[in-house]
Structure 1
Amino acid sequence: MGYEELKIEGRNAVLEAFRSGKTIDKLFVLDGCQDGPVRTIVREAKKHDTIVHFVEKERLDQLSETKKHQGVIAVAAAYEYAEVEDMLKLAEEKGEPPFLFILDNIEDPHNLGAIIRTANLAGAHGVIIPKRRAVGLTATVAKTSAGAINYTPVAKVTNLTATMKELKDKGMWFVCADMDGTCMYDLDLKGPIGLVIGSEGEGVGRLVRENCDFVASIPMKGDIDSLNASVAAGVLAYEIVRQRMR
């Protein structure tokens, strides 16, 4: 299991992190800042034995990913990556056929965060991302996921196609999203399924696509021809949810 560092920025977010019992390794505070909320945060940090660094504004700006730090940035062990096995166990415990998201070429942290949020709401048992050519669990991802990152397991694998093959041996099948696929309403999307999503620009890589059982397209009625990756993930995920509920 690997850790990535998670930066938590802004007063409410940092206070919330301390209060929820998250392990905060370090806290950076704007030197000389004396207002109430910041003093409360520093007090919490001392209570939890967190190392506190008082730094200049330039240093905070440098560290900040969101550019809205309000004078405080906490650094936590982002969170442990799960194993794919854990996701299958989770499905089994819930008595549901496994439902996983597999992401290829998703490099935009806002997209990744939004997809994790969608996966959580659609009842998926986990999200699988590759080690290369993919964004990890950064502060922006965490923020965009609206807390879903704390509940939905994310696994990082070396080779997506190898992982897909292993899952196929366990009875899973895969559907990927692409413009030239079969209309999603005409596909049977029930059972143990992996939803494969690529980036808008590059789509799903060739090898990954070759390992998909079906290619699903979303009916487009407008004048432009592509959907943002996280929106496409949401639309397809909810067609899967609809079919599962029947």
Structure 2
Amino acid sequence: MAGNSQRRNRRTSNKKGATVGSGGQRRRGLEGRGPTPPAEARKKHKKNRIATAKAKQAATRRPAPRRGGAKGASEMVVGRNPVFEALRDGVPATTLYVQQYIDNDERVREALQLAGERGNINLMEAPRAELDRMTNGLNHQGLVLQVPPYEYAEPQDLTTFAYDNGEDPLIVALDGVTDPRNLGAIVRSTSAFGGHGVVVPERRAAGMTAGAWKSSAGTAARTPVSRVTNLTRALEAYKKEGLTIVGLAADGEHTVEELEQIGGPVVIVIGSEGKGLGRLVGETCDYRVRISMPGGAESLNAGVAAGIVLYEAARRRA
């Protein structure tokens, strides 16, 4: 009725006005949520569970036991630059894990290209959460390279390798060298000067990790490394085969230049920079030699010292 239209707060229209303070919810609700992610990226989808399970299975898979060494665990190289450098330097690898929807920058493209060129590296996509689990939360930047355990040789393989080539064995043994980069550098020098292999102890010593491979500049692929449980016993076995054991020590009775035996079948023993040769290893040596240093330096890096002695041995053999 006409009189009723004058009542206070009476609604005279069926249309609702804009809600005060809505914050644009109606407008955002009309914008849409973009394209639907693929099935592998949706957490509760069957394909996502399958992809995650495959990545876990590949990460925990262990290669078959290798000749001459104890069973070892695979090593993970993480991060865009480390992975690229490992692939560039020929570090052996079984699988390259790439994070799903990773930013495809130059380093990622180069790493994928190097892995593809090798032809024997598996490429696998994995969710970020799975890569975090595999690397124990390290900053992997979306790239993880799985490096298999190194195939260590038997100590006798090194002398057999030399005799098969009609040469006197030239072997380097390391006592207490814990830096993988030094080990890699020594493997490189051994290869450069015609050596037949390197012997390292299992405990308190560097092994052939990805870092050692990189330092060897690819020479680890052709210069065998043997790992022994007891270095002293291994040296004694070499002595029974007729090899001379020469230990490098700052207080050696002879200089490298004057010891003629270094040009024959020999094992050159290099100690750590700090402690030098261990007592039992030093007592096993037939000779203890020193490097002449007119400049007065107290010691040399283990890798540098090994290179000098190997050069002298190669010079005498020539």
Is TM more than 0.5 here? Answer: yes
1:236 to 309, 314, 318: 309
Taking only aligned residues, the RMSD between alpha carbons, in angstroms, comes to 3.1
Q: Which runs of 5+ in 1 are unaligned?
A: none
Q: Hey, what does 1:219 align to over in structure 2?
A: 292
Using the aligned pairs only, state the percent identity: 37
Q: Is the 8 A contact 2:170 2:267 kept in 1?
A: yes
2:209 to 138, 148, 152: 138
* Higher RCO structure (Cα 8 Å, ≥6 apart): 1
TM-score normalised by structure 1 residue count: 0.84
Is it true that 1:118 corresponds to 2:213 in the alignment? no
Report the AA paired with residue 121 of structure 1.
A
Report the AA paired with residue 237 of structure 1.
L
Check 1:99–1:47 CA distance in 2 against 1; reply closer, same or farther (3 A cut).
closer
Q: Is the 8 A contact 2:89 2:218 kept in 1?
A: no
SS at match of 1:240: helix
Q: Which runs of 5+ in 2 are unaligned?
A: 1-66
Q: Is the 8 A contact 2:96 2:121 kept in 1?
A: no
Check 1:237–1:43 CA distance in 2 against 1; reply closer, same or farther (3 A cut).
closer
Distance in 2 between residues matched to 1:154 and 1:113, nearest whole Å? 10
Check 1:10–1:177 CA distance in 2 against 1; reply closer, same or farther (3 A cut).
same
State which structure, 1 or 2, has the greater radius of gyration over its C-alpha atoms.
Answer: 2
TM-score normalised by structure 2 residue count: 0.66
1:67-111 CA-partner distances (Å, limit 9, x unpaired): 9x7753311314311111211121012100011100000001111
Report the AA paired with residue 150 of structure 2.
Y
Report the AA paired with residue 239 of structure 1.
E
Shift >4 Å, 4+ stretches: 38-52, 60-65
TM-superposed deviation, 1:187: 0.7
Check 1:140–1:60 CA distance in 2 against 1; reply closer, same or farther (3 A cut).
farther
Distance in 2 between residues matched to 1:42 and 1:234, nearest whole Å? 32
Report the AA paired with residue 164 of structure 1.
L
Distance in 2 between residues matched to 1:131 and 1:168, nearest whole Å? 21
Report the AA paired with residue 125 of structure 1.
H
Is it true that 1:187 corresponds to 2:256 in the alignment? no
Distance in 2 between residues matched to 1:43 and 1:231, nearest whole Å? 36
Distance in 2 between residues matched to 1:214 and 1:64, nearest whole Å? 49
TM-superposed deviation, 1:46: 9.7
Check 1:81–1:219 CA distance in 2 against 1; reply closer, same or farther (3 A cut).
same
Q: Is the 8 A contact 2:89 2:217 kept in 1?
A: no
